[in-house]
Chains A and B, each alone.
Chain A
């Protein structure tokens, strides 16, 4: 199977290291060869860099890609934003000779060259295509008795023309991966709506960003779930830390636990909540923690 390098980005190593740990544990258990990617930087953040200047976006993204080209490994991203930024840059540089030439001209200054020899993968897309829900079930040690509100996020599946992961109004492949763990993915209003963080809105217009988030949280609470599951640390941060900010701003009392898919899968593979960093979230929901510890101890 494909050899991968783990691209961390910013939020995973610097805010939610549990996702880094969970990803490494899961892929080890699944027998996939994943290495570090030493020296990698910000992807760079599409909301800012792609909004500011194309040449800079391509230069920074291509440096990250070349680091992995040198290792002869495809890049594994665990973030919709990193995936969008790196996969788009990789694609544009592969197909547009002019852009590639000008980017390489810049890379020459640091002794690098973009060759176009690798692919950029997203953890969900990778697990779905290389394993699929049925094969994944063979690895499940602790089936999860959990009700989940799944949040796909935007840039894993859109723009669909280049992502090629099927239609975007009502996709099911990620739900299938969630249900492979034994969890139940519940439907909820505006499931496919954005979390409100992207495009520089969380950094530039936090009030608007939190209003969008509050709407999502209200819909999710009505569905009556144990937790939210995402595949993007920026959505994760928005749902987790943003939830406390929403409570402060709107006087609400949301306390919905948030898991990255790597953490959900990690639990089902038999790792314990503390190995996966689940307790390190901003939202502290004791009832949920008790439940996942029981599951992990085989008590339910």
Chain B
């Protein structure tokens, strides 16, 4: 990674330099209550251009609840900046295996959570069609989806490097 993290964030519209390290974000974080995840430190380390910010699995402990972003006295879009850091991490190949599986599921069937037999039965009990009116029912819709994913080179992005 040659470019500085803080500059990449800035290009994406996130100025983290105005952070005054007050810790309101960390104190608001539901995930940080139960783990070592520390929102303020993520921002500080990004500022210091520490490459570990991207490789550290902690980056994936944020539920994107936006509480920190709402409360930051400096108005820093913290959650959106975390999402940007994640996108940079993914480009470096840092993807949790479970997340890779979910994206493969979408590539395969158009849903993150695919239909199963149990739910088909539940649908029929309710008087609904067993197969819902989604991409699962229309092969041509699934083809459209696959074309879009290919156009975005998504398969290459999530492929194991």
Contacts and interface: CB of A to CB of B under 8 A. Distances in A.
A112 B102 CA distance: 26
A208 B158 contact: no
Given A51-B60, A199-B64, 8 more contacts: A13-B134, A39-B135, A39-B138, A48-B102, A53-B87, A59-B149, A154-B65, A159-B80
A41 B87 contact: no
Contact of A14 (B31, B80, B132): B132
Contacts of B147: 109-110
A254 B44 CA distance: 40
Contacts of A208: 31, 34-35, 61
A10 B111 contact: yes
A106 B152 contact: yes
A154 B114 contact: no
Contacts of B152: 53, 55-56, 59, 106
Interface string A80-123: 00000000000000000000000000110110100000000000
Contacts of B33: 212, 215
Contacts of A169: 70
Scoring B34, B128, B134, B141 by chain A CB atoms within 10 A of each residue's CB, the highest score goes to B134
B148 A204 contact: no
A194 B140 CA distance: 37
B92 to A, nearest CB: 12
Scoring B79, B126, B140 by chain A CB atoms within 10 A of each residue's CB, the highest score goes to B126
Interface in B121-147: 122-123, 125-128, 132-135, 137-138, 140-141, 144-145, 147
Interface string B2-34: 000000000000000000000000000011011
Contact of B63 (A10, A109, A196): A196
B56 to A, nearest CB: 13
Contact of A51 (B90, B125, B140): B90
